[in-house]
C-alpha cells in the first residue's frame, strides 16, 4: 500500500525523523494561509498524488503549470494553487490520463547545501534490510546504478538491532559530509531505519535527502510503501489509504478476495494460482494475443467469487474474448464448472469463452460443460487453449 508524501512526512515526524515544516491545503485560500503561517519568504507548493515525477509533470487544463512550484508570496501560492487544484496532473508515472489533484502540501523553503539520495528496502538474498545512499540526489536510483554505480553506498542493517550510529557515521564520512552534518546524520539515519522496520515498510525512499547550509539533514521528499501482509497491525496506516489513487477494478477484486491486475490487452483471463495466472498471460502473448488482466481466483474460490471475477473481467470494455484456465488440485473442476455455468447465466457473455480444465474430477466437469449447451469452446491443454482463444478473437 502507498500513501501520499504529506502523510508519509507526518508519520516520519512522529517517529523523530527531521522533515521541513509543511501545511496541507485543499483550497487556494488555504494555500495562501499556509504560506503566511510558515512565515518564510520562500515556500514550495506540491501536488499530492501517488505517482512520481511531479516536478516535471504538467496539468492537462493548465499546460504551463508544473506539479511542484516555488513561490515567494501568499498571493503567488494562491494563484498557483488555483491552477493546480481540481485539475489533472500528467507525469512520467501517471500514464496519459493523469491524476486529479485534490490536495496540496505547502512546505517551507530551505537553504540547501547538498542533495543526496536515501532508500531502504529488504534485500531478499541477504535476508535483511539495507540502507542505500547515493551522491546524486534527485536522480532515479536505477539511472545512477546504470551509469555510475560507484556513487551508490549500501549498508545492510539488522532488523531487530537497527542501524548503529557507527554505520551512520561510516556513510556520512563516505558521502563527504562536514562535521555538523555527520552529527545530524548520526541521529537521522538510525531513526529512519527504525521507522522502516517498525512500520513494516517494503520501501522508504527519500529523494532528495537534503543537508541544509547549517548542517541539518532533512527528508525533502518521502515515498513510503507498506507490506500489505502487515497492515493488520498498522490500523493508523490503513486509515491513510486513498482509494481514488487505485484502479477501481483492482479495489473491487481485492474486496472479493481476488488478486487482479488490469493490463491493456483484449483477452481476459481467469486462472487459479498466481504462478499459473502469470503463465497464462505469457502463453497468450506467445501465441500472438494480448492479455487484458492478471486474475488469480485462489485455491478455494466459491461461486460468488467466480461470478464476481467474470463481472470484473467483462466490465473491461477492451475484453473481446475470455480464457479460463483451471488446474484443479484441492479445488475440484466440477465445482469450478458449476460456478462458471451459473456465472455465465448471471453475468451474460457476449464474447467468446475458451475453457481449459485439468485436475481433480475433470471428466465430470467436461461432461457438465458439454451438457450445458453453452457455446463454450473447450481446450485440451495450455497450447490448445491459447491457439483457440486467439483464433476466437480474430474470427
Active-site annotation, residues: 117, 205
Quote the CA–CA distance of 71 and 46 in Å, as a whole number.
Answer: 11
Number of neighbouring beta carbons within 10 Å of residue 261: 16
Residue with cell 539495507: 130
Dihedral class, residue 215 (left if φ above 0, else alpha if ψ from -120 to 50, else beta)? left
Given candidates 39, 63, 127, 375, which one binds other proteins under the rule CB under 8 A?
127
Using the rule CB under 8 A, give the single segment among 38-46, 94-102, 109-117, 352-360 that binds other proteins: 352-360
> Do the Cβ atoms of 344 and 313 come closer than 8 Å?
no
Closest Cα partner for 134 from 74, 174, 180? 174
What is the distance between the alpha carbons of residues 391 and 376, in angstroms, rounded to a whole number? 14
DSSP string for 271-305 = ESSHHHHHHHHHHHHHTT--B-EEEE--TT--HHH
Q: Confirm or reject binding of residue 228 to other proteins (CB under 8 A).
A: yes
Instruction: Give the interface segment with other proteins, choosing from 66-74, 84-92, 275-283, 303-311 (CB under 8 A).
Output: 275-283
31-70 footprint of other proteins as x/- string (CB under 8 A): ----------------------------------------
Complex with other proteins: residue 164 or 327, whichever CB lies closer: 327
**Residue 235 binds other proteins (CB under 8 A):** no
Please pick, from the candidates 64, 149, 166, 229, the single residue that binds other proteins as defined by CB under 8 A.
Answer: 229
Interface of this chain with other proteins, residues 186 to 225, rule: CB under 8 A: 197, 200, 202
For residue 256, state whether it binds other proteins (rule: CB under 8 A).
no
Interface pick for other proteins out of 129, 137, 190, 352 (rule CB under 8 A): 129
Q: Which of 389, 339, 330 is nearest to 369 (CA)?
A: 339
Minimum CB separation of residue 112 from other proteins in Å reads 26
d(CA 5, CA 79): 22
Selected from 283, 292, 306, 313, the binder of other proteins by CB under 8 A is 283
Report the C-alpha dihedral over residues 61, 244, 122, 192, rounded to 10 degrees: 80
Least distance from other proteins to the Cβ atom of residue 287, Å: 8
Instruction: List residues near other proteins by CB under 8 A.
Output: 122, 124-125, 127-129, 141-142, 145, 158-160, 197, 200, 202, 227-230, 232-233, 259, 261, 263, 271-286, 291, 294, 296, 299, 327-330, 358-360, 381-383, 386
Amino acid at each position: 500500500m502507498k500513501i501520499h508524501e504529506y502523510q508519509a512526512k507526518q508519520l516520519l515526524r512522529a517517529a523523530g525523523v527531521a522533515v521541513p515544516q509543511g501545511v496541507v491545503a485543499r483550497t487556494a485560500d488555504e494555500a495562501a494561509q499556509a504560506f503566511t503561517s510558515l512565515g518564510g519568504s520562500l515556500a514550495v507548493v506540491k501536488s499530492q498524488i501517488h505517482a512520481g515525477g511531479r516536478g516535471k509533470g504538467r496539468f492537462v487544463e493548465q499546460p504551463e503549470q508544473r506539479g511542484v512550484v516555488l513561490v515567494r508570496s501568499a498571493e503567488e501560492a494562491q494563484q498557483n494553487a488555483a491552477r493546480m487544484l481540481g485539475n489533472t496532473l500528467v507525469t512520467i508515472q501517471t500514464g496519459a490520463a493523469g491524476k486529479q489533484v485534490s490536495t496540496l502540501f505547502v512546505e517551507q523553503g530551505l537553504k540547501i547545501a547538498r542533495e543526496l539520495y536515501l532508500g531502504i528496502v529488504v534485500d531478499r538474498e541477504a535476508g535483511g534490510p539495507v540502507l542505500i545512499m547515493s551522491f546524486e540526489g534527485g536522480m532515479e536510483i536505477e539511472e545512477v546504478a546504470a551509469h555510475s554505480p560507484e556513487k551508490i553506498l549500501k549498508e545492510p542493517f539488522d532488523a531487530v538491532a537497527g542501524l548503529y550510529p557507527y554505520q551512520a557515521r561510516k556513510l556520512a564520512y563516505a558521502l563527504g559530509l562536514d562535521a555538523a552534518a555527520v552529527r545530524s546524520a548520526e541521529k537521522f539515519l538510525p531513526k529512519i531505519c527504525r521507522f522502516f522496520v517498525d512500520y513494516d515498510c517494503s520501501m522508504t525512499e527519500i529523494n532528495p535527502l537534503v543537508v541544509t547550509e547549517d548542517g541539518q539533514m532533512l527528508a525533502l521528499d518521502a515515498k513510503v510503501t507498506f507490506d500489505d501482509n502487515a497492515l493488520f497491525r498498522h490500523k493508523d496506516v490503513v486509515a491513510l489509504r486513498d482509494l481514488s489513487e487505485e484502479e477501481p477494478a483492482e479495489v473491487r477484486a481485492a474486496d472479493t478476495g481476488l488478486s487482479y491486475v488490469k493490463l491493456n490487452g483484449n483477452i481476459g483471463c481467469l486462472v487459479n494460482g498466481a504462478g499459473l495466472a502469470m503463465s497464462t498471460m505469457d502463453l497468450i502473448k506467445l501465441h500472438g494475443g494480448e492479455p487484458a488482466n492478471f486474475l488469480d481466483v485462489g485455491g478455494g474460490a466459491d461461486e460468488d467469487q467466480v461470478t464476481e471475477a467474470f463481472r470484473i473481467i467483462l466490465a473491461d470494455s477492451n475484453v473481446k474474448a475470455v480464457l479460463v484456465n483451471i488446474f484443479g488440485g484441492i479445488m475440484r473442476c466440477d465445482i469450478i464448472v458449476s460456478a462458471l455455468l451459473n456465472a455465465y447465466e448471471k453475468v451474460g457473455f457476449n464474447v467468446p469463452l475458451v475453457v481449459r480444465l485439468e485436475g481433480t474430477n475433470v471428466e465430470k466437469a467436461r461432461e457438465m460443460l458439454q451438457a450445458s449447451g453453452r457455446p463454450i469452446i473447450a481446450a485440451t491443454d495450455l497450447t490448445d487453449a491459447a491457439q483457440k482463444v486467439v483464433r476466437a478473437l480474430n474470427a
